[in-house]
Structure 1
Amino acid sequence: MAKDTAINSRKSSVVLNEQHDAPAEEGVNNEPEVGVFKFSAVLASVILVSFLMLLDVSIVSTAIPRITDEFQSLNDVGCGALQPLTGKIYQYFHLKWTYLFCFGVFELGSMLCALAESSPMLIVGRAIAGMGGAGLQNGGLTIISNCVPLQKRPLYLGMMMGISQLGIVTGPLIGGAFTSYTTWRWCFWINLPIGAVVAALLLFVQVPDPIAKDKFSHTIRTVWPNLDLVGFIIFVPFAIMVLLGLDYGGIDYPWNSATVIGLLVGGGVCLLIFIAWEHRVGDGAMIPISMLKKRIVWTSCLNMLFLGSSNFVASYYLPLYFQSVKGTSPVQSGINVLPNIISSIVSSVLSGALIGVVGYYLPFAVASGALISVGAGMLSALSPSSPSSFWIGAQIPLGFGRGIGTQVPMVAMQNLLPPKDLPVSMAMLIFSMTFGSAIWLTVANTIFTNGLSSQITKRVQGLDPAVVIGAGATNIRQVLSSDQLPGVIQSYTDAINDVWYLVVAFGALCFLTAWGLGWKDVRQKKKAAKAEQA
């Protein structure tokens, strides 16, 4: 029995290694092995889960000002979580059951958020939901890649990302209605019944694996050395210390305090140890250095990091502007951000189709960065009296930039790497987007809070900035006098505009990193296939 187990393990290793070294066009499952009906069911399931993910993000972003009122602090705004092991887990376990497990983690986190009675509990719930969400995103991308031939992936990725963004459209409206007429807790409770429908659908859909997987009972006994748990254990303190250091700096502790310096230095040391360990482990690492050294891979990760950061920051601070500066309700603020969302949906679907026709994805990535910078630059000129024509026009280039660029890093990496590397490579992209966004959202919150305190001190004499911050973003009109309110509203405007300068920088960095994605034609795979048939 032990001999059979060892033989099976060696066979699995040989298969993995062979597929790891195979070029993309020669990898397994480069053409879909499922029928039209089954693939439609799989695609519908993944899109529905992605819709739920974006619905969760957009609902929460709309409800943030109301949440700050209940917990009496702007410091509660900001979350970010990552599960870097998902790529390795998807590589060794069945896609379907791993996907459902991650979905269960996401639902558990949502339930904890709905039951939260304090900021720490809410943060823990968001962290758990984020861990499951990272697995869902990676799993969804891997599932689509295993079902769809390479030359058609831009189209289906565009469909997946475009249709699922309807969650961003409906999220602000639903979130606004919940926060205005019931409670913000329903922003999390809503995930549970929708999740039950998704789980029931996935249970009866067969999700294809790129290779035959061992039984769970065998894999669970033999997989542990292959998951790079040591690397993960080193990564955890790095992530926690960096995020805490950025969150504390300038708010709870001075930037030159021993606490902040110790956290950031400690995180940097853990990062160096983590890199050294990953280099030592080699191709079996959680983040393989050999893969990361490829120019298209690391530029794709950087591009996704800055693109995701611009998305997260905009999703949080657009509703904050409308609710604090304009004094709109959560429902109205959700309606006001529709130009950004609709333009993103349209451009996402169109770019997916156009990449499949044109073949080259690089021009879309370059245009994405430029449009994000233009849109964010226009938003940085917002004032309390800005007309609707201005803030609508400013959101459109931002949304188009985000839409045409989101899928490009995925297409670039899938065009480069063999199918067996897709779970790990997609996990690296999700790692870059989620962890990078968490860091930069914390930086944005620090810029905003520090700027707000500074502006209030300068504009409203005798008013303690802590009183305004403690009142919450939507309560300033109830707690301030008529003489103080104009100065505080202008202070909010200037502090939010400082954040838009950060988004301008994100767009510029997207523009620069886009040039490293490679001038590749995804249609070459299709041409090669036709030549072989001839």
Structure 2
Amino acid sequence: MAADKEAMGRKTSTSSDLASPITEPVTTEELPAKDVEASPKDEPEYEWLTGMKLWAVMGPLILVFFLVLLDTTIISTAIPKITNHFNSLKDIGWYTASYQLASAVLQPLAGKLYVNFSNKWTFISFFALFEFGSLLCGVANSSKMLIVGRAVAGMGTAGLQNGAFTIISASVPLHKRPALIGILQALAQLGIVFGPLIGGALTQYTTWRWCFYINLPIGAVAAVLLVFDKIPDAYQKPPAMEVLRDIHHKLDLIGFVLFAPAVIMLLLAMLWGGNDYAWNSATVIGLFCGFGGLIIVWAAWNWYKKDDALIPISMITKTTVWSGCVVVGCLMAGLYIAAYYLPIYFQSVYGASPTMSGVYLLPNIIAALLAAVIAGKLVGMIGYYTPFAILAAILMSIGLGLCGMLGVNSSTGDWIGFQILFGVGRGMGMQMPIVAVQNRLPPTMAPLAIALCMFTGMLFGALFLSASATIFTNSLSTLIPKYSPGADVQAIVTAGATGFRDVVPLSQLPGILIAYAKSVNRVFYLCAALAALCLPFSFGLGWTNIKEKKKAAPQAKVEVNKGEETSSDSAV
């Protein structure tokens, strides 16, 4: 009898959860054994990670996540040297675009892999791919080889961010996840800020190749820890050979073949439009048409496959999921834009060095770190995450809007206070959509939802970074003649944020500084609008108390596990 019950429990947590859509908050009867404290007499007891076992997993996850985000910005200060080495100024856009494209298009497929294969070995495989891409970049003997290496590294990152969140969801109870996800994101996002500083130092004192080699020794430490760590799965997964025998069905490879090129064409159209090609050129129009045609075919196929699709219909139609995707997308787009343009403001208007511009970002970093940890703990205590997402959208939109007021004569107190405001907002809000989709979906669908959120973040980041670059350059082109008549606009734009002081006479400098400040302001208006857009969608994350699941269990079962719950609560 016990064996029959165990088999029934496993069947419920693997097949039926994925096949049946969830339209209402999951009750205790519907949840797998992991999310309801069950009596040992009914089901096998699930052991959450606590204490040193938990932090042995969190340590390498934070390290890997840091390297991924570091890799997105470390190349920015090395690009001038790289283009000089390969004489490849025409390829400059591809050094970033190839990384972003590869990472974005593989996100949904990565979610499918986490559904069907071991969390541990799937994560390690993606990390190995990322490290191999870094090695290719470091030893590149041509610009094309470097672009290929960046694409391979981007493919690796596709399964690392969502993989880290998936592993955390399998390691600790739901009410502990906000704090751990907040810590992971806050510490890892240091990579975005310090990337240009580390890249500049390595390029100046060694060689630009160390911008990629740096991932190898640090990654080796993380890999060793991951191999020997006990990394759990949220449910019993089928044997790998069984999945491989039916891999085209399990992973929906046809759906991926339709989806990936459609997304690539959209991103290329946005990257090239207004830069390499005019918006009304045949190339850009053709890319948009190709995207439209393929995405319609993919949508029809996705509907036909239903819950076996690359992006299951029953998942994407849930308010929590699509609202969470929009919130993550807008937050990450605002974060990437701010990470690029605050240093531009400091280096152009203030005349700060790259190192000092990184130091000037510390108010934002520290505020986000503290807010992420405190908000995560508070969510675990009160059980509701949506109020924090709403407050985060308000604080971010106000803080970023105020950054749109920074000018030539702004005080130190201004840019410190504005950064603290939106730093608290982003630290508080980033993990809430991830917690929301984990709360509203069974474990078999959670990796897909997390991957979709990460895909949306990458997509919005790429699209709005392109839009911000267009806003900035167009603004400079119109404001420089207005505030500094007679200045050579093309020479100033080509010289960049740190080089224009060497190509203009002192008499023109005040007007150019005003033009730079106002151009950065307009970019921050876009950031503020994105943050404000999070507000209405934050209400769609749901109002289910994440602690209610434990309260809903029969009183006798709670008594049996009371001691275990107490010891688990002390882990975070």
Task: Kindly indicate whether the alpha-carbon contact (under 8 Å) linking 2:390 and 2:539 is maintained by their aligned counterparts in 1.
Answer: yes
- Bigger mean CA offset, 353-362 vs 464-473: 464-473
| SS at 1:419 equivalent | coil
- 1 CA distance for matches of 2:49 and 2:314? 36
1:355 paired residue among 354, 379, 386: 379
- 2 CA distance for matches of 1:65 and 1:501? 29
Instruction: Quote the offset at 1:17 in angstroms.
Output: 2.2
Task: Kindly indicate whether the alpha-carbon contact (under 8 Å) linking 1:373 and 1:504 is maintained by their aligned counterparts in 2.
Answer: yes
How many residues of Structure 1 are paired with residues of Structure 2 in the alignment? 524
> What TM-score, normalized to structure 2?
0.84
Do residues 47 (structure 1) and 62 (structure 2) align?
yes
- Bigger mean CA offset, 450-459 vs 249-258: 450-459
> 1:92-131 deviations in whole A, cap 9, x for unaligned?
1121111011112222333344456777655544443333
Q: What corresponds to 2:131 in structure 1?
A: 107
Greater RCO, 1 or 2 (C-alpha within 8 Å, sep 6+): 1
1:524 paired residue among 535, 548, 553: 548
For residues 89-128 of structure 1, the aligned pairs below 5 Å read: 89-115=113-139, 123-128=147-152
Instruction: Quote the offset at 1:457 in angstroms.
Output: 4.3
Q: What corresponds to 1:346 in structure 2?
A: 370
The unaligned stretches of length 5 or more in structure 2 are 1-8, 38-45, 560-572
- Bigger mean CA offset, 253-262 vs 364-373: 253-262
- 1 CA distance for matches of 2:489 and 2:405? 24
Distance 1:144 1:323, change over 3 A: same
Instruction: Quote the offset at 1:16 in angstroms.
Output: 3.1
Q: Which amino acid in the other structure matches residue 338 of structure 1?
A: L
Q: What corresponds to 1:254 in structure 2?
A: 278
Q: What corresponds to 1:310 in structure 2?
A: 334
- Bigger mean CA offset, 246-255 vs 160-169: 160-169
Task: Kindly indicate whether the alpha-carbon contact (under 8 Å) linking 1:231 and 1:277 is maintained by their aligned counterparts in 2.
Answer: yes
1:16 paired residue among 14, 23, 40: 14
Q: What corresponds to 1:142 in structure 2?
A: 166
Instruction: Quote the offset at 1:218 in angstroms.
Output: 4.1
Do residues 29 (structure 1) and 7 (structure 2) align?
no
Distance 1:346 1:355, change over 3 A: same
For residues 187-226 of structure 1, the aligned pairs below 5 Å read: 187-226=211-250
Q: Which amino acid in the other structure matches residue 17 of structure 1?
A: S
Distance 1:409 1:62, change over 3 A: farther
Task: Kindly indicate whether the alpha-carbon contact (under 8 Å) linking 2:179 and 2:372 is maintained by their aligned counterparts in 1.
Answer: no
| SS at 2:423 equivalent | helix
Distance 1:404 1:156, change over 3 A: same
For residues 460-471 of structure 1, the aligned pairs below 5 Å read: 460-471=484-495
Task: Kindly indicate whether the alpha-carbon contact (under 8 Å) linking 1:304 and 1:406 is maintained by their aligned counterparts in 2.
Answer: yes
Distance 1:232 1:400, change over 3 A: same
Instruction: Quote the offset at 1:376 in angstroms.
Output: 1.0
- 2 CA distance for matches of 1:367 and 1:502? 19
1:38 paired residue among 53, 61, 67: 53
Identical amino acids, percent of aligned pairs: 47
For residues 387-402 of structure 1, the aligned pairs below 5 Å read: 387-402=411-426
Task: Kindly indicate whether the alpha-carbon contact (under 8 Å) linking 1:359 and 1:523 is maintained by their aligned counterparts in 2.
Answer: yes
| SS at 1:515 equivalent | helix
- Bigger mean CA offset, 222-231 vs 402-411: 222-231
Distance 1:67 1:382, change over 3 A: farther
Instruction: Quote the offset at 1:13 in angstroms.
Output: 8.9
- 2 CA distance for matches of 1:444 and 1:435? 14
Task: Kindly indicate whether the alpha-carbon contact (under 8 Å) linking 2:183 and 2:369 is maintained by their aligned counterparts in 1.
Answer: no
- 1 CA distance for matches of 2:83 and 2:536? 36
- 1 CA distance for matches of 2:310 and 2:498? 43
- 1 CA distance for matches of 2:60 and 2:201? 27
> 1:372-417 deviations in whole A, cap 9, x for unaligned?
1111111111223322221111111111110000010011111111
Instruction: Quote the offset at 1:521 in angstroms.
Output: 0.9
Q: Which amino acid in the other structure matches residue 54 of structure 1?
A: L
- 1 CA distance for matches of 2:260 and 2:11? 28
Instruction: Quote the offset at 1:466 in angstroms.
Output: 3.3
Distance 1:64 1:299, change over 3 A: farther
- 1 CA distance for matches of 2:451 and 2:207? 35
